[in-house]
Structure formats: structure tokens, C-alpha cells
Structure 1
Amino acid sequence: MKSYPLIASAALIALLAGCAGKVEPEYPPSELTAFDPQVVLDERWDQDVGDGLGTARYPITPTLDDGRLFVADQSGLLRAIDAENGETRWEVALDAPVSSGLTAVAGRVYLGTRNGEVLALDQEDGEEIWRSRVSSEVLAAPQANRSLLVVQSVDGAVTALDRESGEERWVYTTNQPALTLRGTGTPRVIEQVTFAGFANGRVATLDNRSGQSLWDLRVAVPQGRSEVDRLVDLDGQPLLTRDGRLYVTSYNGRLLALEATSGEILWSREMSSYLTPLLVGDTLFTVDEASHVLALDALSGRLLWESDALEGRWLTAPAFVDGHIALGDYEGYLHLLDADDGAIAGREDLGGDGISLPLLADEGRLYIMTNDGELSAFDVEPVED
């Protein structure tokens, strides 16, 4: 059996849901080496958020809106925190175990649960506004436009709910393979359409009026004899630009740049990744399954630089802060790479049983939650001569 990466740290939870037996990492974690620091990370505040992500490492990514962080733990603790000083504004205990990332928009907080419920809560006090049930467990953060809340559940179904009432508007279903990655693609939702990637290696554009597919495309082709070898999951979130380009990553597949309205391929690169890419100007940053960090020309796909300094360290999706690419790793280190050339510019050891959630960046500040629930805010400062 081919070896596959793991997404957890101490517990070494296999990336493959449903795959029995021991799974050895294909890329042993690289040792961290000395470097000449260009920036330092100044911790502004920190606090513990319940029991964190739990042993299953649920992807309960915090969200930021109107100067407040909204965070939760896997047991149902939900908290609003002042992003500037770390003070708790309010805290509630939900009667459901949280399993998805959070989304905060227009005065509400949305999240999903392990028992297939979606909750809408008031940003001012955490009071529940409505809850609805979808077809299965929710791991991907619900995504909103002005009228809909779109939820992708682990069985591959995409459900559109009315944002005001929680009533179901439409459901789009796909055929799921026997084995998938531990995770779910997060849809990209705009006013007219939803872009969604699936565990069968396809990406589809759905009409938000009806849920009907406008076009769909195979991003990754299953290869190999066993079901494990044939995994082609799309676990990241499609990245949409203002001028209508769509970037999609896939596991055991390709990185594609597409024309969003038609699905026409603009360029393609053979690459295996289960993380969401990042666009800064005309540069696309992505992390592959080996935890190599790549910078590509977003218009042509040309490689600008590639760093293997953090190979095998199970990096998070990239974030951009103050000219640097920020990434967390399985041991709890926060790394900053120079966005121009990929050189390591800064590092901080947060511990916390590792970092698996994407980092939040906002105007020179980073917000990081470790797997055991320690939430910290860091300012990025240049090293003084």
C-alpha cells in the first residue's frame, strides 16, 4: 500500500477516513534549522478556548468580523472575543458538539455540528436564531451570500438554506467514493453561483436559484489498483478572483486555473494538495502534500520559487501578513516565509499539541488557535538593527 500523509500531530490520526491499519508518513518531518531572523512575533494576548479541537481534530476555524473573534471548541463552547485586547465579550454553551469552522457575517455566526445540524446565532450575545438539519455531519464552514447559507456535508451533499429562516431551498448530491480524505471541501459562494469541489475529483458550478449544475469538470483522475491509491479528493476551498479566475487544488491530481463562467482550463500543474491556495496580487501561494511551499505566477502557472525547508511538517494553508507567508505545523511552530523568495524570516514555538487550523491574518496581526484550544494574537515586527 502506498503511504499517505497524516493531518494530526501527537495522536497521528490518519488522513484517510475509513482506512484501517497503520498509515506511515511518506514524507518524514524535516528538522528545523537555524536561520537569520528578519521579523519577530510579539504576542499581544492569549486565552484557552475549552478543550480545543478534540482527538478527532475537528476543523473548528475561528472567524473575525467587526473587530471580534468568534471561536468554539468541539464540545460546544462558543465565545466572542475582542480582537484587539483578547477580552471575552460573551460565552455560551451550545447543546450540540461543534465540528465545522465558523462564519460570521451581517450580525450572525453560523456553524455546523457532528449530528448534521446548522446553527445561526446572534453576534451580540450568542442567542440562537435558528437551527436546521442537513444530510450528515458538517466539517466545512457554512458559506453565505445575501440570501443563502450554503453547507457542504461529509456525504458530499451541498445544501442551500435561507439565511433568514434556515429553511431548505435546494440540495445538490454527488456520488461519493468508498474512501475519502478526512475533511470536506468548502464551497465558494457568490451571489449567482456556488463553486464546490467533491471527493470524486470533480468541481461543479451550481446555480443558486435552483441548485442545478451549470458546468462540472474532472480535476483529478483516479489511478492505481486499490481504493486508497485512487483517492482524488478536493478538500480545499476554490479560490475565485474578481476578474473571474477560479483556482482549484486536488489530492493526487492537479492545480487548475479556470475561467469561472465556463470551466475552461487556463493552465494546469500536476500537484497533490488538500489545502486552499492563497492569492496575493498576481502571485499564487500553495502548499502541496509534502509540505513544500510554492509561489506561482497566477496568470501563467510559472513557478517563481519553491521551499522544501518544512517538508513533512504537515503545514496549514498559507496566510499573508506584512510581506510574509505564515504557516503553522504539526509540532505547534508558527513559520514566516519571505513572500518574495521563500526564505524563512521568523519562527515561534506555540506548542499546544500542534496547529492544524488555518491562520487568521488582519493588518499585521496573526490569530492562531492550537489543537488544544490556545488562542493567541501576534503582531509581526521587524528585527531591530
Structure 2
Amino acid sequence: MAVMKRTSTTLLLSPLLATVLLASGCSAMNTPEQAAASSEIAKNAAVVLRSAPIELVWRNNLDQRQPASPPGFSLPAVITTPEGDLIIAGAQDNRVRVYRDNGSEQQRISIEAAGESGALQLDNGLVVLGDVAGNLYGLDLKTFAIKWRYALGSALIGRPVAVDHDFIIQAANNQIYRFTANGNKVWSFSGNLGGLGMHLTPSPAVYEDHVYAALSNGDVVAMRAGDGGFLWKRQMVLNNDAAVLSELKVPVASPVVIPAAQSGRDEDLLAVSLFQGELSFLSLQDGSQLRARHLSVKSTPLLIGQRLFVADTAGSVSALDAGSGETRWKLQLSKGELTGPVLSQGMLWLADDQGKVYRIDQEGHLSGQIELSGRIDRAPVATSGGVLVRNNLGVLYMLR
């Protein structure tokens, strides 16, 4: 009876797998060509069994867009509260949306301008985010009130980054700030302005009390997190005076620190990506370039163990050796520009500018995909209940 039950289950799972089992049952009589064909069928069957549709759990119109409205780029954030997780995101109608994790809207908080940044939950419970008019806000999600506001003078598009009990931001005009959780400025750093740029901007990386930032003028700078003291600068673009987008080389992905324990080298590294440029590996000690790969990247790579997962603008995702930068595997997913990956439940999630979302395993096998509306320019966001994706039309999706 047990054998019959297993056979029945196999047939329900995949007719292809039944073919594999039938072929393997007479493998002694197979020719080399038949054996190779059976091996390929088995490989394909394994991919089929790993695949499952991506489920659309819920969707919300985040922006309440009007005709001819500009595209939206705000990055949703997951906020932990005693009552459960909340999802917070800025919108084009000058309001911050607060949703429960089941998609039900809890509140809208009015701000001065469209909110296009990411958000960060601070140690004191406040949530910090910015708007395109250059205002920085500390929001209280218990009372849904603005507790403090600071005028930056330039838009915040990236995501605030925690450091100790404070946070660090990088504004669109290449200024970097450290603030306390109460909105008091600790220090600021002013980089030189760039030329033609993109709407997306990187966020700083913080590691062992140092801050590393890729600026829109092509500079990568390092400074002390405590007082903003300058450490070193590396120019990644010899000429960033582009006249058209097709000639533009600019960092829009955040730099990634690769500790020596994960790179296998005797020093820590910094991976810096350029849109329509290169992926460079710099020495964290002095900013010298150790190696580079010709990859155009607009989304922050993901470091897991000794592998750096990189999605490029040619539609491929690659697993690179974190120390040497050599390719371990590469998967062509799309014809568009990819964003991501992010890690959720052990799987990698990516999206492209044609509205498609992909789920793959860490060995480069496609596990599922779904096609949504609009284009997706920011990486998915992992939550405890699934993965959030926000498109340029102002729609926020929860996928699983």
C-alpha cells in the first residue's frame, strides 16, 4: 500500500518526474545518450518541483495618483510595535501611509511634500523619514503625530541608517548628516555636487564606527561615525559630466561592506556599484581599488556568507565570490533592469522595470514569478508575512 501511495503522489506532483522514475527503472539498458537525456529530465523535474506560484496577498493604492502625476519611488519600511508589525511609506499626496501587515490602512499622517525616502525605526520608538522638499521628520506612531522636524535643504530619497542610538542620512545634494533620535544634528559633511543624476540615491553604510558613502559626483568617502572626521576619498568616475542618461555613470546603489571573515582576505572590503559602470571592490583601509567587474547595477547587492548576490541592469542575477569577485553562477531572468535581491524565508526576491517579480533559490534556480502593473525601480522589502513591492504607479503589493 505504501508503494501505491508514493506512486500516486508522484503522478500528482509531476508527470515529468514519473518519466524520470520510469527511465531510471531500466537504466541498465540505457545507451549513453539515453542516460544523458534521463539526467537532463531529472534536473528539469527537480526545478519543476521547486517551483510554486507567487501569491498576491493584498494590494493598496499608496499614492492616490492623479492623471500625469510623477512616478513614485518611496520605499516601504516594516515597523515593529507591541500590537504587531506596521508598514509605513510616504506617498505623492503629501501623506505618510500606515498599514497593518494584513493591508488594512490604520492612519495617514500629513507632511509638507511628497515622501520618497525609506524609513527607520529609532530606539526611542519614533520613525524617521524625509520628503522631497528637504524636510526630515520624527513620527510617533502611537499618536500619529510629528514629534520633530528638521529642514535639510535637499531631498531625502535614500534610507536612514542606524548608528548606536542615532541615525545617519545622505541627502540628494551629497550632504551627509548624523542626528540624534530627538532630531538634533550631531555633525554634517558636504560633498561636491554632481552633474546629471537619477532620482534614486544611495544610502550610507556604517561599519565599526565608520561611515562609507557613494556620492552622485562619483566620490566614495569614508569618515568617522562619531564626529564626521574625514578619512579618505576615492573618485570612481573620471568624467561624470554626462549630457544624456545613456552616458551617465552614477552610484544609485548603497555600498556594501564585506568583512575579512567573509571575503577570505586579510582586509575588509567595500563593494561599490555604478549604474552603467562597474562593480568595484575597494580596500576599507584607504579606498584603493583592488578589483572591478563590468556590471551595471542600480540596486544594492546582498552579502550572504562568502557570496555577494548582484542583480544588474541587463536582467541577470549573479552570485559572486565575496573575496575574488569571480562568478559562481549567473541566471538571466529578464530583459529589463533588475532590482534586489532581498532575502526572505531563505529565498532571493528580485523585480524588474517591466513589473515582474521573481523568486529564486540561492543556487540560481527560478522558484516562482508574477507579473504586476507598472515598473518597479526599488528593491522588494522582506517582512515576516511576505515581501512588499512598490511600483511607480503608486501601488503597494504584499506577495508570498
Q: Contact 2:196–2:242 at 8 Å: present in 1 too?
A: no
Offset from partner CA, 1:59-82 (integer Å, 9 cap, x none): 210011222211221222223222
Letter in 2 for 1:314: E
Residue 58 of structure 2: aligned partner: 45
1:271 aligns with 2:295: yes
One-letter amino acid of the structure 2 residue matched with residue 359 of structure 1: P
**TM superposition shift of 1:97:** 2.2
- Which one of the candidate residues 292, 308, 332 is aligned to 1:284? 308
Match of 1:348 in 2: 370
Among 161, 175, 180, the alignment partner of 1:162 is 180
2:79 corresponds to which of 43, 65, 70: 65
Paired residue type of 1:308: Q
Structure 1 163/191 Cα, relative in aligned 2: closer, same or farther at 3 Å? farther
Which of 222-231 and 265-274 deviates more? Answer: 222-231
2:105 matched to 1:88?
A: yes
Q: CA offset at residue 277 of structure 1? A: 0.6
Deviation, structure 1 residue 359: 0.5
- SS at the partner of 1:318? strand
Q: 1:326 aligns with which of 339, 344, 349?
A: 349
**Structure 1 residue 228 displacement after superposition:** 6.0
Provide the TM-score with structure 1 as the length reference: 0.79
What whole-Å deviation, never above 9, does each CA across 1:212-259 have from its counterpart, x for those lacking one?
A: 321122234338996767633111111224554422111343212334
The one-letter code sitting in structure 1 at the alignment partner of 2:315 is S
Partner SS state of residue 369, structure 2: strand
Partner amino acid for 1:250?
L
Are the structure 2 counterparts of residues 368 and 309 from structure 1 closer, same or farther at C-alpha, using a change threshold of 3 Å? closer
1:51–1:372 CA contact under 8 A, matched in 2:
no
Shift of 1:121: 0.6
Match of 2:136?
A: 118
Q: In the aligned structure 2, how far is the partner of 1:127 from the partner of 1:225?
A: 42
Q: How well do the aligned residues superpose, as a CA RMSD in angstroms?
A: 2.8
Bigger CA radius of gyration: 2
1:150-172 C-alpha deviation (Å, 9 max, x unpaired): 222222121222322x2333221
Q: Secondary structure at the match of 2:388?
A: strand
% identical equivalent positions: 24
Q: Shift of the alpha carbon at 1:118?
A: 0.6
The offset of 1:365, in angstroms, is 1.9
- Structure that is richer in helix per residue: 2
1:171 has 2:188 as partner:
yes
Quick check: 1:368 aligned with 2:385? no
Matched with 1:238 is 255
Provide, for residues 175-229 of structure 1, a one-character-per-residue CA deviation record: whole Å limited to 9, x for no partner.
2232223322211235622211012222111112332321122234338996767
Cα gap change, 1:321 to 1:230, in 2 (>3 Å): same
TM-score, normalization by structure 2:
0.76
- Secondary structure in 1 matching 2:294: strand
**Cα distance in 2 for residues equivalent to 1:228 and 1:77:** 31
**CA distance 1:70–1:228, change in 2 (3 Å):** closer
Aligned counterparts of 2:155 and 2:383: Cα–Cα separation in 1: 30
Counterpart pick for 2:148 among 130, 133, 148: 130
- Alpha-carbon separation, structure 1, partners of 2:120 and 2:363: 31
Q: Secondary structure at the match of 1:39?
A: coil
Give 5+ residue unaligned stretches, structure 2: 1-46, 262-267
Q: Which runs of 5 or more structure 1 residues have no equivalent in the other structure?
A: 1-34, 380-385
- Taking the aligned partners of 1:79 and 1:180, their CA distance within structure 2 comes to 28
C-alpha contact 1:291 1:314 (8 A) present in aligned 2: yes
The alpha-carbon deviation at position 323 of structure 1 amounts to 4.1
